[in-house]
A and B are shown apart, each in its own frame.
Chain A
Amino acid sequence: MTPEFVLDLMIGLALVVVAWAALHSSELFRGVIFYIVFGMLIALGWVRLGSPDIALAEAAIGAGLTGALLLDAVRQMGYGPTRVESTPLRVAAAVVGFCVTGMLVWAVLTLPHAPGGLTVDVLAAMDRSGVAHPVTAVLLNFRGYDTWLELGVLLIAMLSILALRRRWSLAGGSPPAAEPLLGAALSLLLAPALLVAIYLLALGAYGPGGAFQAGAVAGAMGVLWYLAGNRSVAALGGVSMRLLCMGGLLAFWVAAVGGMAAGGRMLQLPPGWAYAVLLVVEVTVTVSIAVILAALFVGARPLPDGRG
């Protein structure tokens, strides 16, 4: 047994134990903490699998931002023992869960055996992609359609928040009371964090990084800025906030239609222009992701009149 194998085994076992603890803790708060630990362990697992891109996104979004959202939700629901649902509902949930797991296992087991998957095809087409990092090439160029739809999912989540608030903007909620030390720490951290976000964005062209990771870091700073007692993204007016949120989707739409107008198929980037188009799309997508992620947290705070 090599040390690496022991480490992987420990991560794998810890994942199962922590997942069980997250589902079976007697208090919601405890469950959420275990869920955050689970996210960090998953990120570690992705690093061990050689996928730093997914590890970064998982740590920032899965553990960080989702954790903050869940902690806030627990606080608003009141700490206390978890409510146990009725037995038929739990049986139904277990059946659905086992069915989904079974289908996933079946899908993995019946995958056509192709050593290396699509890696060969991707690497062969890299010189036409406009970037030097294969993951970014797949996400933004070869499978840009998927990323486009993911932005749609984020926007729908954002719209749901606005619908629940029955308002067109994030204005109205009062930011939490100012924490002096958090504010002071943030004034130190804001510039380096912004630098990290820009670095991750630029790194996406030739290394692990890109729009989702950069957007998550910037969005997390938006959440912290709000928690320090500032209005953060809620200070954006209705129109400018909606434009910023839709920007990523629109940029992809322009790239899609532009490709068709240039005589190609939808989302087919003209060779030679690929880098420029991807740069504009990636920057816009980053801003949209940052604003939406921060807005999901800020918009989920209760309004003074009790709505939302």
Chain B
Amino acid sequence: MSLLDWTTAGLLSAGGFFFLAGTVGLLRFPDTLSRLHSLTKADNIGLGFVVAALAIQAGTLAVALKLVLIWLLALLSSAVSAYLIGGHVLREMVDRGSIDRAPIQNEDHDDA
């Protein structure tokens, strides 16, 4: 195996570790917000390592850039969906009275 292959193997293992840790967190953490926290680690860092591993094997710059673009899009969508789920959970907690007020105030929201 060449140095490039060893680097890919290392990066893939690192990505796999973050996916494993994120999945364990998703299954074991007690509430939605902490589960989101662990899930975004898998989405962002885990996928980042996997994309880096594949990009250095891509051969052409165009394919490598496409892979990086996929990672950036995944970053964007994971950040936005985590925000949306988190906001929903916070509003529910306020409705149930388990916290006084949501740290992020969203005026006239009726999404619940």
Contact = CB atoms under 8 A, between A and B. Distances in A.
Interface of A: 176-177, 179, 181-182, 185, 188-189, 192
B84 interface: yes
Contact of A177 (B76, B77, B109): B109
B83 interface: yes
Interface string B71-112: 001001101100110010000000000000000000011110
Query: Shortest 7 CB-CB distances between A and B: which pairs?
Result: A185-B80, A181-B83, A177-B109, A181-B80, A177-B110, A177-B111, A185-B76
Nearest to A180: B106
A179 B76 contact: no
A303 B78 CA distance: 31
Given A177-B110, A179-B84, A185-B79, 8 more contacts: A176-B111, A177-B108, A177-B111, A179-B111, A181-B84, A182-B80, A189-B76, A192-B73
Contacts of B84: 179, 181-182
B46 to A, nearest CB: 17
Contacts of B109: 177
8 contacts: A177-B110, A181-B83, A185-B77, A185-B79, A188-B76, A189-B73, A189-B76, A192-B73
A192 B76 CA distance: 13
A189 B81 CA distance: 14
A190 to B, nearest CB: 12
B44 to A, nearest CB: 15
A182 B110 CA distance: 16
A181 B81 CA distance: 10
A176 B77 CA distance: 20
A189 B111 CA distance: 23
A189 B74 CA distance: 11
